[in-house]
Structure 1
Amino acid sequence: MTFPIRSDTSDHHLARTPGTGAERAHQEAGVRRVPLLTRLPATTRAPVAWEEAETVLPLPTELLGDGELVAVRMEGPAMTGAGIREGDVLTVCRQSSAAHGDVVAARVGGETVIRRLAVDDGQVRLVACNPGYSPVHASAGVVLGRVVAVLRKL
């Protein structure tokens, strides 16, 4: 069961540059090209242009699955209890709803946050995995996507 947080129901498409030979070769080899953004757009309906990407990451399709993907760097310690550290690269599948327990990117009060979606007794909240952060009632936010992978240099 999924729980939208002020669902953004309009279509969302990643503005793609024309497929180059290298891009087609990556797709054929089971690799997806994912733009690493400095900021997520404020809604899922806002297209992301490849030109806005800091870089483009070639990532394995089997790790990421289907859907419209973007990558962002984690800022702050809010999700350390989930094994997500500051500076990690998060791959986000852009969607406007998520299920209980999913780690999501959400827009709350003009800020993009990474939190776990929690549904308890009909209450939907965005919960940090760090006791130093208070939960946010989901009615105050909009889901921008679900985190599907965490990348970190060792």
Structure 2
Amino acid sequence: ARTYGLNAVITRCTNNYGPYQFPEKLIPKAIIRAKMDMSIPIYGTGKNVRDWIFVKDHCEAINLVLNKGERGEIYNVSSGEEKTNLEVVNGILDIMGKRDLIEFVEDRPGHDIRYSLDSSKIKKLGWKPKHSFKEGLKETV
């Protein structure tokens, strides 16, 4: 964008979640399997950390950047709420009133220990997420 003078901005986000997400991802997969009383696979110890953002908050962030962002700039979008994969699945099970469905499986090769972003730049534009992780998870389930 800078090199060619394009009127463009870039956003990068952490892990999105919300209703109607593709079922191969952790949160929808856990919800579907829990509904069917099937085991939910967790890689390794489940201590891998992710910063999750509810899809509606992500959409609002993109809209703000499109309208108020500076041309050629990159804006990271994250909620700042880091959760382990185990915390995420346990949160789903709590909401659904389920227990004992977690199955620890061999970790994937090269599985990242942590995904997180610094979203201080977009916060300077006045953005902050409206949904806590727990609120977004309840709406998703």
- The structure with the greater share of residues assigned to strand is 1
Fold shared per TM-score above 0.5: no
TM-score, length of structure 1 as denominator length: 0.20
Which of the pair has more CA radius of gyration? 2
Report which structure shows greater RCO (CA 8 Å, sep ≥6): 2
